[in-house]
Amino acid sequence: MAVQRKISKPLLLSVVILPILIIIGMTVLFLQNHRYNTRERVHSFMDGRREGTAFVFDDITVDIVTRGGDSGAWMNDPVLDDDENVLYKESVGTIYELVVTNNSSDTITDWKAVVYIPEEMCIVNSWNGDYEIHQNVNSGNESVQALDLAEYTKYDIILEHFMTVSGAMVRLYEGDYFIYYPDVAMGEMPIVPKPKDADKESSIRIGFIMYIPEKTIDYVADFSKGEIHYRLHTSILKNPFFWILCAAMIVWISCCLAMIIVKINLRRMIEQQKRDEKIIEQTMQTIVNFIEAKDPYTKGHSMRVAQYSKLLAESMGFSEAECKSFYYIALMHDCGKLYIPDNILTKPGKLTDEEYEIMKKHTLFGKELLQNFTIIEDIGMGALCHHERYDGNGYPNGIAGEDIPVIARLICISDAFDAMNSCRCYRKNLTPDIILDELKKNKGKQFDPNMIDHLMKLIESGVISMSDNVEGE
Ligand SMILES: [Fe+2]
Ligand 1 mean position to 361 CA, how many Å? 10
Reported as a single tens digit per residue, the pLDDT across 151-173 is 766 667 889 888 877 778 899 99
Distance CA 55, CA 66 (A): 15
Distance CA 359, CA 192 (A): 100
218: in domain: yes
Under the banding of pLDDT at 50, 70 and 90, the label for residue 6 is low
Domain co-membership, 101 together with 175: yes
Ligand 1 mean position to 270 CA, how many Å? 34
Domain co-membership, 157 together with 223: yes
Ligand 1 mean position to 448 CA, how many Å? 17
Reported as a single tens digit per residue, the pLDDT across 221-254 is 999 999 999 999 999 999 999 999 999 999 889 9
Ligand 1 mean position to 211 CA, how many Å? 125
465: in domain: no
Does 426 score more than 60 pLDDT? no
Distance CA 17, CA 82 (A): 78
Ligand 1 mean position to 440 CA, how many Å? 21
Listed residue (383, 430, 413, 450) closest to 307, CA to CA? 413
Inter-residue contact 215 to 66 (CB < 8 Å) = no
Ligand 1 mean position to 424 CA, how many Å? 13
The CATH number that applies at residue 332 is 1.10.3210.10
Domain co-membership, 308 together with 438: yes
- The one-letter code for the residue type at 352 is T
Angle 312-316-320 from CA coordinates, rounded to 5°: 80
Under the banding of pLDDT at 50, 70 and 90, the label for residue 1 is very low
Ligand 1 mean position to 429 CA, how many Å? 17
Domain co-membership, 451 together with 392: yes
Distance CA 135, CA 145 (A): 9
289: in domain: no
Angle 402-405-407 from CA coordinates, rounded to 5°: 125
Across 439-459, average pLDDT:
94
Distance CA 74, CA 436 (A): 130
Q: What does residue 299 show for φ and ψ, rounded to 5 degrees?
A: -60, 130
Distance CA 94, CA 217 (A): 8
466: in domain: no
Ligand 1 mean position to 316 CA, how many Å? 23
The CATH number that applies at residue 136 is 2.60.40.290
Number of alpha carbons in the 13 Å side-chain half-sphere of residue 203: 15
Domain-ending residue, one of 278, 309, 337? 278
Reported as a single tens digit per residue, the pLDDT across 170-225 is 999 999 999 999 999 999 999 999 988 888 889 999 999 999 998 988 899 999 99
Domain co-membership, 143 together with 14: no
67: in domain: yes
Ligand 1 mean position to 411 CA, how many Å? 9
Ligand 1 mean position to 204 CA, how many Å? 103
Ligand 1 mean position to 347 CA, how many Å? 15
Ligand 1 mean position to 53 CA, how many Å? 110
Number of alpha carbons in the 13 Å side-chain half-sphere of residue 188: 22
DSSP code, position 7: -
Ligand 1 mean position to 332 CA, how many Å? 10
Ligand 1 mean position to 331 CA, how many Å? 11
197: in domain: yes
Distance CA 314, CA 310 (A): 6
| Strand pairing class (177-181; 91-102) | unpaired
* Domain of 51, in residue numbers: 40-237
Distance CA 239, CA 32 (A): 11
Inter-residue contact 446 to 416 (CB < 8 Å) = yes
Distance CA 303, CA 300 (A): 5
Does 471 score more than 60 pLDDT? no
Give the range among 16-20, 333-337, 443-447 with minimum mean pLDDT: 16-20
Q: How many beta carbons lie within 10 A of that of residue 39, not counting itself?
A: 9
Ligand 1 mean position to 461 CA, how many Å? 27
Q: Is the dihedral of CA 188, 208, 47, 114 positive or negative?
A: negative
Does 281 score more than 70 pLDDT? yes
Under the banding of pLDDT at 50, 70 and 90, the label for residue 428 is low
Domain-ending residue, one of 188, 212, 237? 237
Distance CA 74, CA 77 (A): 10
Under the banding of pLDDT at 50, 70 and 90, the label for residue 427 is low
Those residues with Cβ within 8 angstroms of residue 65's Cβ, 6 or more apart along the chain or in another chain: 53, 96, 97, 99
Ligand 1 mean position to 362 CA, how many Å? 7
Q: Is the dihedral of CA 349, 355, 359, 365 positive or negative?
A: negative
Ligand 1 mean position to 28 CA, how many Å? 74
Ligand 1 mean position to 134 CA, how many Å? 115
Under the banding of pLDDT at 50, 70 and 90, the label for residue 413 is very high
Ligand 1 mean position to 334 CA, how many Å? 5
Ligand 1 mean position to 65 CA, how many Å? 113
Residues with CB under 5 A from ligand 1 (ion): 334
Ligand 1 mean position to 386 CA, how many Å? 7
Give the per-residue pLDDT at 473. 34
Across 75-85, average pLDDT:
81
Ligand 1 mean position to 189 CA, how many Å? 98
Domain co-membership, 49 together with 155: yes
Under the banding of pLDDT at 50, 70 and 90, the label for residue 469 is very low
Listed residue (92, 161, 111) closest to 133, CA to CA? 161
Ligand 1 mean position to 406 CA, how many Å? 16
Max Cα distance, the chain (Å): 156
Ligand 1 mean position to 419 CA, how many Å? 10
Ligand 1 mean position to 360 CA, how many Å? 8
Ligand 1 mean position to 304 CA, how many Å? 13
Percent of all residues in the chain with a pLDDT value above 90, rounded to a whole number = 64
Give the per-residue pLDDT at 472. 38
Angle 302-308-309 from CA coordinates, rounded to 5°: 85
Three-state DSSP state, 271? helix
Domain co-membership, 107 together with 217: yes
Domain co-membership, 164 together with 94: yes
Ligand 1 mean position to 313 CA, how many Å? 19
Inter-residue contact 355 to 426 (CB < 8 Å) = no
Three-state DSSP state, 74? strand
What angle, 0 to 180 degrees and rounded to 10, lies between the N-to-C axes of helices 320-331 and 301-315? 160
Ligand 1 mean position to 354 CA, how many Å? 17
Domain-ending residue, one of 221, 252, 278? 278
Listed residue (137, 301, 118) closest to 224, CA to CA? 118
Give the per-residue pLDDT at 470. 47
Domain co-membership, 343 together with 262: no
Across 395-413, average pLDDT:
95
Ligand 1 mean position to 387 CA, how many Å? 6
Domain co-membership, 61 together with 139: yes
Domain co-membership, 113 together with 206: yes
Distance CA 169, CA 217 (A): 19
175: in domain: yes
Domain co-membership, 274 together with 345: no
Across 403-425, average pLDDT:
88
What total of structural domains would you count in the chain? 3
Q: What does residue 341 show for φ and ψ, rounded to 5 degrees?
A: -60, 145
Number of alpha carbons in the 13 Å side-chain half-sphere of residue 187: 5
284: in domain: no
